[in-house]
Chains A and B, each alone.
With several copies, the nearest count.
Chain A
Amino acid sequence: MTDAKTFMQAPDERGRFGEFGGRFVPEALMPACLELEIAFKDAWSDPAFIEEYNTVLRQFAGRPTPVTPLLRLSEKLGINVYAKREDLAHTGSHKINNVVGQTLLTKRMGKTRVIAETGAGQHGVATATAAARLGLECTVYMGEVDTVRQSLNVFRMELLGATVVPVTSGSKTLKDAVNEAMREWVTCVSDTHYCLGSVMGPHPFPWMVREMQSIIGHESSRQLIELGVATPDFVVACVGGGSNAAGIFSGFANTSARLIGVEAAGGAAVKNGSPGVLHGMRSMLIQSEFGQIEEAHSISAGLDYPGIGPEHAYLADAGRAEYYPIGDEVVLDALQLLSELEGIIPALETAHAVAWITREAGKTIPKGSSVLLNLSGRGDKDVAQVRSLLRGE
């Protein structure tokens, strides 16, 4: 930290984190964003709401998730790695934290329906899950390409009572699913909440989703102390939109820990992007010379996003967090390493963070350092793909 600023507070009244964030949406959605901001602020300061949110996370979603000392990996790398086990949360990733909060908020706002975008299906399944629990109607927008690649997740959402709508515009993937969800939200905003899946979109989403994921960081910080680690030297998370990273960083933003976000090399918005406006926010984006948004490319669908949440853009700008790209080629090795040494098959997204730690141990990460890894999700969803890749199919 270069100065005594405190990080990861609420954004300013326009929803800005430094120069990033804000609210760039069609007027039709402005009232909903304003309403949501008020509703969120109100709920988030209501002990009864917080109590219900925490109860559902505990009783339904399986929180707290443990922190696992990764003993064999640590020995191999000469550093001390601890994994925050979001893979053990209901539906298999951190995504459930956010949707539990947003669906409770939906009910509190008197809305009866949620819509969501999804890439590979993790956020869609999580949203369908939380919606089912509350009896909310649920429609999920998913790029047509992804509905084919991840047809089992489509079926999973349907089992949970959701309707999945294939999006045929643009590149037919996540970015277009967001566009389409926004377009649809315009038509049904009176009874429908848009349950956005990461720390992106217009204010108050980046802030709200970060707050709803901050439980990861708060739990971890307490759990590490129990394990004898007052402050870890590094906190490492993969970054698609950046919600799992924001969640875990929250617990350590104002400590001496170095915060590391790992992006897919084919979607490295901090390293290869520039400031721009997309999906309601000003942030770092991968874009062409004339401001057309480029498609991201990654082995992992969850990191296949050309932008990054605005607060991350700010943390990068302020020098508080560092963001590094990891290429597809080392991700499979990392997934195999963690599986074999620790008995945990991570999601491909998470494997990016593992790959960075593995590569940088003894380099950026000095020997003997303590490293907290956010194990954002389990790899079950990815095993078929990993098998094809390893077999060169």
Chain B
Amino acid sequence: MKPLETKLRAVRDSGRKALVPYFMAGLTPDWTQHVEAAVHAGADAVEIGIPFSDPMMDGVVIQEAALTSLARGTNLDSICADLAKISVDVPLITMTYFNIFHHYGLERSIGKLTESGIEGAIVPDLSLEESGPWHEISNSYDLANIFLVAPSTNTERAKLLAQASEGFCYASARMAVTGKSSDEGDAAQVVAGIRAGSDIPTYVGIGITTPKQAKDASKIGDGVIVGSALVQLLIDGAGPGKIEEFITSFRLAID
């Protein structure tokens, strides 16, 4: 079992619902302080987005954040350098698209990420079928790989994805890309599918933008992932105080 999973199982075992906020690396010069603020307010792990020009799985908010970060001249090297500055006691997980690593080199990417304190990776366009080489190398670096399971995933496939996931399994609450949503979602069905395959911690994400939605989702899964709502706040210029306030409101809702 990779370190990330050990830690996240521990959170669950403690009876606590995990709260995982998403930050876009390099969105602002002081982005690492935002991460720290979130952890201070009760995040159990943090997703670190690495910006990509063509974020196929992301809605307008994260698209905009990625372009803003890129326009600031960020890249994998600069982001890893920034990561080294973050001092928190919860695991950091990266999320980005496969081409970033493919182009940088798989082993070189994984080496660099883990060296910078990253313990897990979500690569939404790296399908289970294509993940072999990446998985192999990440095993030797103890980097956990997290797969998404979608409402469209059938039970057999959900089982495979759950079993392949490390750290946690990402239950996509709805057929949508990241962003706001108002519908109920299909989290219960997706989580049930994952649990039929594995007892890995299962976090619900995609479209969770309010404490109320987080509360509902946390009743279904073992944790919730909050992305676009937080990124929107940052785009609007939120500082550490505002972030703590935002995270706290989610923390209170799911506890």
Contact = CB atoms under 8 A, between A and B. Distances in A.
A175 B54 contact: yes
Contact of A278 (B76, B99, B148): B99
B141 interface: no
A51 B200 CA distance: 50
A290 B104 contact: yes
Contact of B103 (A183, A274, A280): A274
B32 interface: no
Contacts of A187: 175-177
Q: Chain A binding site: helix, strand, loop or mixed by DSSP? A: mixed
Interface residues of B, number: 44
7 contacts: A23-B130, A26-B150, A27-B172, A179-B55, A179-B56, A291-B101, A291-B104
A318 interface: no
A14 B129 contact: yes
A183 B177 CA distance: 6
Nearest to B170: A27
Contacts of A278: 54, 99
Interface string A166-196: 0001100001100100110011111000000
Contacts of B76: 290-291
B59 A183 contact: yes
Interface in B53-107: 53-60, 63, 67, 70, 75-77, 97-104
Interface string B105-135: 0000000000000000000111111100000
A362 interface: no
A293 interface: yes
B100 A25 contact: no
A28 interface: yes
Given A287-B103, A290-B100, A293-B99, A277 B125 contact: yes
Nearest first, the 10 closest Cβ-Cβ pairs linking A and B are A291-B103, A28-B150, A290-B75, A292-B53, A277-B99, A27-B148, A31-B152, A293-B53, A183-B177, A24-B125
A285 B103 CA distance: 10
Contacts of A124: none
B167 interface: no
Contact of A277 (B58, B102, B147, B151): B102
B103 A30 contact: no
A131 B147 CA distance: 35
A295 B212 CA distance: 41
A27 B52 contact: no
B175 A27 contact: no
A192 to B, nearest CB: 11
Looking at B59, B63, B157, the one whose CB has the most chain A CB atoms below 10 A away is B63
B80 to A, nearest CB: 12
B154 interface: yes
B102 A27 contact: no
B149 interface: yes
User: How large, as a class, is the contact surface on chain A?
Assistant: 35 or more
B153 interface: yes
Nearest to B67: A170
Contacts of A30: 127-129, 150, 152-153, 157
B60 A31 contact: no
A232 to B, nearest CB: 37
Nearest to A183: B177
Given A169-B60, A182-B56, A290-B104, A26 B148 contact: yes
Interface of A: 14, 22-32, 169-170, 175-176, 179, 182-183, 186-190, 274-280, 282, 285, 287, 289-293
A313 to B, nearest CB: 14
B161 interface: yes
A279 B60 CA distance: 17
Nearest to B96: A291
A25 to B, nearest CB: 6
Contacts of A27: 124, 127-128, 147-150, 152-153, 161, 172
Contacts of B124: 26-27
A22 B161 CA distance: 18
A154 B128 CA distance: 38
A138 to B, nearest CB: 20
Contacts of B75: 289-290
Looking at A24, A176, A187, the one whose CB has the most chain B CB atoms below 10 A away is A24
Given A277-B102, A291-B100, A24 B63 contact: no
A2 B216 CA distance: 62
Contact of A24 (B77, B130, B147, B150): B130
A213 to B, nearest CB: 25
A28 B147 CA distance: 11
A365 B104 CA distance: 39
Given A27-B149, A291-B103, A292-B53, 5 more contacts: A26-B56, A30-B153, A179-B54, A183-B58, A290-B75
A23 B129 contact: yes
A188 B176 CA distance: 9
A275 B56 contact: no
A30 to B, nearest CB: 6
Nearest to A275: B102
Contact of A25 (B63, B125, B154): B125
B188 to A, nearest CB: 17
